[in-house]
Amino acid sequence: MPKFAYQAINQNGNTVSGSIEAASASAVEEILGNRGLIPGKITQSEKTGGFSVAALNTALAKVKAPDLILFSKQLSTMLRAGVPILRIFQVLESQTENLKLRKIVGEIVQDIQQGHSLHESFLRHPKVFSQLYCSMVEAGETAGSLPEVLERLIYIIQHEFKIKNDIKSAMAYPIIVVIALSIAFFVLLTFVIPKFVTIFQAAKIELPWPTTVAMGLYQFLAAYWWLVLLAVVGGLVALSWYFKTPPGRLNRDTMLLQMPLIGPVLRKTAMSRFASIFAILQASGVSILESMKILSATINNAAISREFDRISDQLKEGKGIAGPLKNAHYFTPMVINMVAIGEESGNLDEMLREVSSHYDSEVEYAVGRMTTLIGPILVVGLAAVVGFFALAIFLPMWDLTKLAQKP
């Protein structure tokens, strides 16, 4: 979209200037008029003939959770203050520091000027505003409670951001140890072992099996390193492609849910996400059937999403939510019972908030337990690698010492 430099007169009679991205000069005049400015000189910026630094920075920028949280808080605050929606987004456009989000806000301003609703404008940017975000904004617009809905959205984004950070922090140490261990294994195998083997062969010492295995691995890597590299890269590319297909995502997520240590954390995280999102959707007036559709798209696990689709099919037959949950996989008895009680008593959102709070604590405990158990596993792996190379070097070294002691 072309960029236009402008000069205009504000309400105080002062001349102001700046630049705006718009489809045409007439569109710039309309934008300035909506901002309460009297358009003056408008000129299109000269094209550089290449990809500008600003455009490159905007293309590379990412809208992260903290950016979306700040955006939602500012939007909610100005809505509560009674600021007109168009003016809100004009202010947000000028205040947003994230380049990509600023560009998106500018496009939303144009959509609103063309008569689109807020949730329709958000739907045009699915990489930033999830289906959950757009659906809840639509519910807030319909019910006239958009500020309250945004507060609930802010809670969800903050809640999920915290859980992701906790899991990343827990996995950082094991990943660093595994990388360091792999580098040490490669260095010992390619640089240390061959030098010692040369000495042992010169002394005509029979090599024990650890040394023979290590030397065999070294010779294989030296002769076929390109084949190993090709197999590793090809395997990663093939897996990446497969996991992008629906069957691949389903198999991957099913396997992860069944893995020891990781599986319990993922299942409890999914239950917490399900309960918190479902509770907020119910409090916002979204129907159960629409909630299942939103949950299926936002749960971030293909195996559990499939269960939501099955539940939706049973809901269309006129069944309540508790019954289909009993026949679904991955849902714990506590979740099923609390949903059943909430459905019978008419306070489903309250019961779901209790479930969410419980599983928040469970996730925190499970992440801590996973970190605790991974430590000994890494120690065993480290001991195995060190022990293997120690035997590969010191067993023939011991034979060499005995040979030197012979008269």
Residue 136 scores a pLDDT above 50: yes
**Which residue's entry shows tokens 């798209």?**
297
Give the C-alpha separation, 307 to 270, whole Å.
Answer: 12
Give the C-alpha separation, 9 to 40, whole Å.
Answer: 7
Which residues, 6 or more positions from 316, have their beta carbon under 8 angstroms from its beta carbon? 289
Give the DSSP letter of residue 192: I
In terms of Cα–Cα distance, which of 268, 267, 279 is closest to 339? 279
Tell me the C-alpha to C-alpha distance, in Å, between residue 189 and each of 128, 195, 309: 46, 10, 51
330: left (phi over 0), alpha (psi -120 to 50) or beta: left
**Which residue's entry shows tokens 């140890």?**
177
Tell me the C-alpha to C-alpha distance, in Å, between residue 199 and each of 207, 392, 396: 11, 13, 10
Q: What is the pLDDT of residue 248?
A: 92
**Which residue's entry shows tokens 């404008």?**
121
Give the C-alpha separation, 130 to 145, whole Å.
Answer: 19
Give the C-alpha separation, 363 to 269, whole Å.
Answer: 6
In terms of Cα–Cα distance, which of 76, 100, 103 is closest to 88? 76
Q: CA 119, 125, 130: angle at the middle one, nearest 5? A: 70
77-89 pLDDT per residue, tens: 999 888 888 888 8
- Please tell me whether residue 38 adopts helix, strand or coil conformation: strand
Give the C-alpha separation, 397 to 203, whole Å.
Answer: 11
Give the C-alpha separation, 270 to 300, whole Å.
Answer: 8
Q: What is the pTM of this model?
A: 0.69
Q: What is the pLDDT of residue 60?
A: 54
Q: How many residues does the chain have?
A: 407
- Give the whole-number percent of the chain exceeding pLDDT 90: 9
Which residues, 6 or more positions from 62, have their beta carbon under 8 angstroms from its beta carbon? 100
82-130 pLDDT per residue, tens: 888 888 888 888 778 888 888 898 888 888 888 888 888 998 998 888 8
Sign of CA dihedral 288, 292, 294, 300: positive
Q: What is the pLDDT of residue 292?
A: 86
Give the C-alpha separation, 54 to 193, whole Å.
Answer: 52
> Per-residue pLDDT averaged across 348-373, rounded?
84
Q: What is the pLDDT of residue 407?
A: 58
Q: What is the mean pLDDT of the chain?
A: 83
DSSP readout, 206-272? PPPHHHHHHHHHHHHHHHHHHHHHHHHHHHHHHHHHHHTSHHHHHHHHHHHHHSTTHHHHHHHHHHH
Which residues, 6 or more positions from 309, have their beta carbon under 8 angstroms from its beta carbon? 292, 296
